[in-house]
Amino acid sequence: MTECCAPPPLILPPRVDRLPLIRQAFRLEWATIAWMTVEAVVSIAAGIAAGSLVVLAFGLDSLIELASAGVLMWRLSVELRHGQKFSEQAERIASRVGGGLLFLLAVYVTAAAAWRLWEGGGEAFSWPGFIVALIAIPAMRYLALRKIDIAEKIGSRALRADAMEAVTCGWLSFVVVASLAVQWLVGAWWIDSIGSLAIVWFLVKEGREAWSGDECDACCS
């Protein structure tokens, strides 16, 4: 008499209590919005006052990331009310809008940097821009790590993508700090334009990821 081999038991992943994690994500997004507001206002004002393209581009990117954080907060609130799948189409549309804005910003920065290099005009060093970019480096690292941790636990593609924007902002902050530091030490007028062109690479990379959703594929839906 042959024995029927029973299929192995299905091992389910441990159940995750999403509500406390989503609340943590909300707190992180509020912190992001608060900091991005400060970062955008200070950087844009300082960039205009000093005529610094690298600081101005940093501030404009902060505005785009501020809008992204607001969209994600809406996304999380919709999940709480209607379920996780409800607003995926809206999320994709919002990501493409954000990606398009980043591409436009990259075009503007490239054109402005090329024009300033052609003119050979100088810019003043910006202490407010330097300080806010310096603070942003550890701030963005902390926010990115916390968001990635929660995104992996709840399987949130939107939160993962937002964390990648925080990573990019951290690198942008480093570029701004390095550019301003070299400008202050050397006094070369062209450092500001070269530093802003370095930012363009990050803007295009972030824009492509937002447009195509490549970063979102790292997490399950």
Is residue 102 in a domain? Answer: yes
- Assigned token pair, 26: 């909300």
| pLDDT of 159 above 50 | yes
CA 193 to CA 183: how far, in whole Å?
11
Is residue 77 in a domain? Answer: yes
Domain range for 43 is 18-214
Mean pLDDT (whole number) for 172-193: 83
| pLDDT of 12 above 70 | no
Provide the 8-state DSSP code for 219. Answer: S
The top-scoring range by mean pLDDT among 35-39, 48-52, 120-124, 156-160 is: 35-39
Q: Are 195 and 178 in contact (CB under 8 A)?
A: yes
| pLDDT of 218 above 70 | no
Residue 182 belongs to a domain with what CATH number? 1.20.1510
- 47 CB-contact burial (10 Å; exposed 0-12 / middle 13-18 / buried 19+): buried
Is residue 7 in a domain? Answer: no
Per-residue model confidence as pLDDT tens digits over 30-63: 999 999 999 999 999 999 998 888 888 889 888 8
Helices (H) and strands (E) in the chain, counts: 6, 0
Is residue 12 in a domain? Answer: no
CA 55 to CA 40: how far, in whole Å?
10
Is residue 221 in a domain? Answer: no
Query: How many domains does the chain fold into?
Result: 1
- Is pLDDT larger for residue 126 or for residue 189? 126
Per-residue model confidence as pLDDT tens digits over 90-113: 667 666 777 787 788 888 888 878
Please, what's the largest Cα pairwise distance for the chain?
93
Is residue 10 in a domain? Answer: no
Is residue 219 in a domain? Answer: no
pLDDT score at 123: 66
Nearest to 161 by CA among 79, 219, 81, 83: 219
Is residue 186 in a domain? Answer: yes
| pLDDT of 29 above 70 | yes
